[in-house]
Amino acid sequence: MNDDDLFHLGDKTYRSRLIVGTGKYRDFAETRAALDAAGAEIVTVAVRRVNITDSGKDNLLDHLDLSRITILPNTAGCHTASEAIRTARLAREAGVGSLVKLEVIGDEKTLFPDVPATIEAAQVLIKEGFTVLPYITDDPIAAKRLEDAGCAAVMPLAAPIGSGLGIRNPYNLMIILEHSRVPVIVDAGVGTASDVAQAMELGCDAVLLNTAIAGAREPILMAEAMRLGVEAGRKAFLAGRIARKLYATASSPIDGMIR
């Protein structure tokens, strides 16, 4: 990537625009290899109870290069604002900073967010000094409300979490992008490299994904594909695509044709 094309999030700056989750990998070695192949500088983690009967197992964080990687704890699985707030506070106490991927789930089957509860939780957490990145529907009004609440970015879904359906509504994302003054990160639902390229071509600032890599037949190869997809899409966005036209325009000049 261009050295001067940096991704600003909160008070930090990143080269990578691919944020990767750490769930669903076979083991820590595969997690680490996939994160490396993806070139991820921000990775998401979940907050869960330690196993009190067998706590001797090594910890995910021991397998991540924390000098290079920013940890983004999520509030996955939380169904109310208060659960999400509680989870975020615990994450911060565990000592990885004030960044939080705020998720308040509204429905178990779709895992679509409960936007009013997300806004409520965001307001509390921002007051407490968190840098809040909310997972939201691809709804421009939801994005606006969360930006107004003081979120450091907005993270509309492309499609349901883990569905791999890709970008279902590029036009809503375009509206969100047009109005947003904070970074727009597509979070959830992408399936393959062309999906992330499309998100970046639309002008999104970054993409967050997990299952699309972890669930691939060859996760590490897919991680590399995703990195390249993000880079290709970003470069295409910066380069500016040609306008769409219904009819042909010759690429070779007419002048000098033999007659």
User: Which residue ranges make up the site for another protein (CB under 8 A)?
Assistant: 21-25, 31, 44-50, 52, 55-56, 59-61, 71, 73-74, 76, 86, 89-91, 93-96, 161-162, 188, 208-211
C-alpha span between 213 and 199 (Å, rounded): 16
- Min separation Cβ 170 and another protein, Å: 22
C-beta of 140 vs 191, nearer to another protein? 191
C-alpha span between 180 and 183 (Å, rounded): 7
- Min separation Cβ 99 and another protein, Å: 13
Name the CA dihedral angle for 139, 83, 107, 75, rounded to a multiple of 10 degrees: 60
Give residue for tokens 């940096």. 6
Q: Could you tell me the two tokens for 112?
A: 């679509």
C-beta of 140 vs 193, nearer to another protein? 193
C-alpha span between 217 and 233 (Å, rounded): 23
Sheet holding 18-21, edge to edge: 18-21, 206-209, 185-187
- Min separation Cβ 41 and another protein, Å: 16
C-beta of 24 vs 235, nearer to another protein? 24
Instruction: Answer whether 44's CB lies under 8 Å from 73's CB.
Output: yes
C-beta of 103 vs 201, nearer to another protein? 103
C-beta of 31 vs 198, nearer to another protein? 31
- Min separation Cβ 73 and another protein, Å: 7
The catalytic site residues sit at 101
Which residues fall within 8 angstroms of residue 155, CB to CB, at 6 or more apart? 101, 133, 134, 135, 136, 184, 185, 186, 187, 208
C-alpha span between 185 and 199 (Å, rounded): 9
- Min separation Cβ 171 and another protein, Å: 26
